[in-house]
Amino acid sequence: MIFPVLTQSQKRSIGVLALMGLIGGGTAMAIGELGMRLTQIWEFLLPILQKLPIPEMASQIAGMVIECSLLIGFISVSVMFMVWWERKVSAHMQSRLGPMTTGGWHGWAQTIADGIKLILKEDIIPESANSWVHRLAPVLVFVPAFICYAVLPFGSNLIAVNLDIGVLFIFAISGLSVLGIVMAGWGSGNKYSMLGGLRAAAQSVSYEIPRVLSIVPILLFVGSLKLTDIANYQSGMWFGFIPRWFIFYPVIGQIAFIIFLISSVAETNRTPFDIAEAESELVAGFHTEYSGMKFSLFFLAEYAYVFLSSGLTTALFLGGGSGPLLPTWVWFLLKSFGIVFLFLWFRWTFPRMRVDRLMEFTWKFLMPWSFVNILIAGAVVLALGV
C-alpha cells in the first residue's frame, strides 16, 4: 500500500484539526448534557425572577425570547460554518485551496466578511416590481425554516417544543416557504424570476409527496409522530454491535432513507435539483432581482433548510443523539453535519437534471418505490404484530 506524501501545510492542518477535536471533545464532556445544564440554569433563575415585581406572563415571554434567540444564534453560526465548509469542500474536490486569507487559518472569517458586505449593500427594488410582495417574500421563505427548528430534538431534553405531531408540523410549516418563492418570482416583475418561482413550486410539491411517504414505514413501526419518540425507539443494539437505527432495517430502512435523502436534496433546491435557479437558463431564478440583506435571507433559508433536513434525517434514521461516551447533543450535531456533507458532495459531483427528467424521476420512480416500501412495511408489521 502506498501512503500519500503530505505537505507541510497539510500536516499542520491535520494537527490543528486534531487539536480542535481534542479541545471540543473535552469541552463537550465537561459540559455534559446541554439540555440538563440549561434546565439547571433556568431553575436557578426562576426563583429570583419570581421574587421580583414582574408579572408571570412577562417571565414566560422572556423565556420564549431566550429560546428564540438561542435558535437564531445557532442557525446563524451553523449557516456561516456551512458556507465556509462548502467552499473548502468544493475547492478540495477541484484541487484548489478555497478561502485562505480572511481571518487567518483557512479563511475562517470569509463568510463573516461576506455577511458584512451584504449588510452594507444597497437594497434595490425594480420599477416593475410589486414592492410589498418583493419585500415580504424573503421573510416568508426564512421564517418557516426558523419555526421548524423549534421541534427538532438536538439531544436529550434539548428541544424547544416537544410536539406530539412534530413530524407533521415540520412538513406542514416548511411547505409555506414555497409561497415565498412564488411571491419572489411574481413580485420581481421579471420573466426569468417568474419561471424560477413556478419551477420551484412544481418541484417542491412533486418531491414533497415521496418525501412524506418515505417515512410512513417508520411511523408504522413507532406508532407516533413525536420526533423524540422516534429517536428513542432507535436506542439499543442488535446482536450487541449493530445500532437499532432505522437505516439498518433490512430493505425497508435503506429504501426509505434513499428516497428521503433524494427528496430532501430536491426540496432544498440543491444541485442536481436546482432548476429553480439554474444560472445557465434563468440568470439566478426567483431571486435574480434581489440584493443586499434580502438576497442573504434566501441564502440563509437555503442553508437553514439543509441543516433542518439533515437533523430530521438524523432523528428519523440515525437514532437522533444516541451514541457512546459523548453527550447526545454532540452526537446529534456530528450525525447531522455528516448528512450535510452528503448535500455538499452531491452538489459538486452530479450535473443539473433537465426539468422534464427531474419531474419524471419523482413521479415514475420515487413515488412507486415509496408505495412498495409502505406495502412491505405493512406486511412486516402485520406479520410481527408490532
Q: What is the DSSP string of 240-282?
A: TTEE--GGGSTTHHHHHHHHHHHHHHHHTT-TTS-GGG-HHHH
**pLDDT tier at 2 (50, 70, 90 boundaries)?**
low
Residue 214 lies in a domain: yes
| Partners of residue 46 on adjacent β-strands | none
**pLDDT tier at 6 (50, 70, 90 boundaries)?**
confident
- Interval 59-73 mean pLDDT: 82
- Interval 211-226 mean pLDDT: 92
> In the 8-state DSSP scheme, what is residue 4?
P
- pLDDT at position 1, please? 47
Of 155 and 49, the structure prediction assigns the larger pLDDT to: 155
The candidate with the shortest Cα–Cα distance to 179, out of 159, 161, 201, is 201
Residue 282 lies in a domain: yes
Residue 297 lies in a domain: yes
- Interval 310-336 mean pLDDT: 90
Collect all residues with Cβ–Cβ distance below 8 Å to 146 and sequence separation of at least 6: 71, 72, 75, 304
**In the predicted model, is pLDDT for residue 133 greater than 90?**
no
- pLDDT at position 4, please? 65
- As for how many domains the chain has, the answer is 1
Residue 221 lies in a domain: yes
**In the predicted model, is pLDDT for residue 22 greater than 90?**
no
Residue 267 lies in a domain: yes
Taking the C-alpha atoms of residue 58 and residue 73, their distance in angstroms, rounded to an integer, is 22
**In the predicted model, is pLDDT for residue 245 greater than 70?**
yes
Which of 75-89, 120-134, 246-260, 368-382 shows the lowest mean pLDDT across its residues?
120-134
Residue 56 lies in a domain: no
Residue 232 lies in a domain: yes
- Interval 231-242 mean pLDDT: 84
Q: Which domain holds residue 284?
A: 118-384
Q: What residue type is assigned to position 89 of the chain?
A: V
The mean pLDDT of the chain is 86
Residue 155 lies in a domain: yes
**In the predicted model, is pLDDT for residue 277 greater than 80?**
no
